[in-house]
Amino acid sequence: MRSLSFRTGLAALFAGLLSTSVFCAELPRVAPGEVGLSAERLDKITAVLKNDVAQKNLVGGVLLIARHGKIAYLQVVGARDPQENAPMSSDSIFRIYSMSKMITVTAALTLVEDGLMSLDDPVSKYLPQFTNMNVGGAVANPAGGDTNVMQLVPANRPITVLDLMRHSSGITYGFFGDTLVKKAYQNVDLLSGKFTNAELMDRLAKLPLAYQPGTTWDYSYSIDVLGRIVEVVSGKSLYQFEKERLLDPLQMPDTSFYVTEPSRKSRLAQPFSDDKVMGVDLTMSDPTEVRPWESGGGGMVSTAAD
């Protein structure tokens, strides 16, 4: 994650070595040596982070390591908000971006375990707009010249739920790469305005796939599509379902899509003022601004303890 969000300091630093099902918030604190870790070597990680803060490559961060059901190392470095010079705290709330994906997939897997859907189900069973998808490819321009044009061919088979989970759906992201399909994603301004998960599906389904389903791994909006399926199958919003089935049972009170309470807003980690744009026209989200969209692929916030 260093290349994308290292300078912003918005990715909390986790080293998950848990070997029990005890919740992190309840874990006892012990010295690293008590669980077979070296305090001296762990301190070298902290030293690197502190140097990154001094070099202004990192705003701040939280490093938490737990092993055998015990917290063995917890360090806080840098600032929570560089504009206010507010120090980082262990309960600071971070945008977790694509770590949202594992929560969405876990939510979907609970529905599979409940027998309410199958990994082999076609996406179109729940989202009919994905019934007849085309795959875009580049061919020589028949009008001549050295430019290519897009050629659409029907998908060889339907996209499945499993394809979404493993990023082999043929759906892509438009904020990196320069293929004709990725440029098509950019040209429609996919994330403009205020929209719901359902409305985003309508936008995505109108775009061509970048690859035949099941053939190619490509980081994508697939998990956003999966999040919408969770809504359709459960009859609840994505956050409502995740809160009831995952976040509350696992005691993750600070994991959500938006931060609205004043007490939580004051704990939100913020980037450098000149470092709020990532990739092609991808502006850093503002979790304090509540929108209809709950991005299962990258919209959640959380804490190191959660």
Query: Count of alpha carbons within 13 Å of 220, Cβ hemisphere only?
Result: 25
Q: At residue 37, does pLDDT exceed 90? A: yes
Q: What is the 3-state secondary structure (H, E, C) of 188-222?
A: CCCCCCCCCHHHHHHHHHCCCECCCCCCCCCCCCH
- Top pLDDT among 4 and 31 is at 31
Dist. CA 258–CA 264, nearest whole Å: 10
Strands in 2-147 per DSSP E: 13-17, 60-67, 70-81, 86-87, 94-97, 134-140
Dist. CA 60–CA 11, nearest whole Å: 9
> Each residue of 229-241: pLDDT tens digit?
999 999 999 999 9
Mean per-residue pLDDT for 290-300? 96
Helix/strand/coil for 79? strand
Sorted by where each begins, the domain ranges of the chain are 2-99+253-302, 104-238
Q: What are the residues facing 97 on neighbouring strands?
A: 300
Per-residue DSSP letters for 104-142? HHHHHHHHHHTTS--TTSBGGGT-GGGSS-EEEEEEE-T
The percent of residues above 90 in pLDDT, for the chain, comes to 76
The percent of residues above 70 in pLDDT, for the chain, comes to 89
Q: What are the residues facing 301 on neighbouring strands?
A: 95, 256
Dist. CA 130–CA 196, nearest whole Å: 17
> Each residue of 16-26: pLDDT tens digit?
433 333 446 57
Dist. CA 115–CA 252, nearest whole Å: 26
Please state the pTM of the whole predicted model: 0.88
> Each residue of 81-137: pLDDT tens digit?
988 889 999 999 999 999 999 999 999 999 999 999 999 999 999 999 999 999 998
Distances, alpha carbon 298 to alpha carbons 62, 99, 235, 275, in Å? 20, 7, 21, 18
Dist. CA 246–CA 239, nearest whole Å: 10
Dist. CA 221–CA 224, nearest whole Å: 5
CATH number of 104-238: 3.40.710.10
Highest mean pLDDT: which range of 1-15, 78-92, 197-211: 197-211
Phi, psi values for residue 137, rounded to 5°: -135, 165
Task: Indicate the Cα dihedral angle 40, 41, 46, 49, nearest 10°.
Answer: 150
Using alpha carbons only, what angle is made at residue 186 by residues 283 and 199, rounded to the nearest 5 degrees?
80
For the chain, first and last CA: distance in Å? 19
Dist. CA 113–CA 116, nearest whole Å: 8
Look at the block and give the residue holding tokens 């092993």: 67
pLDDT at 21: 37
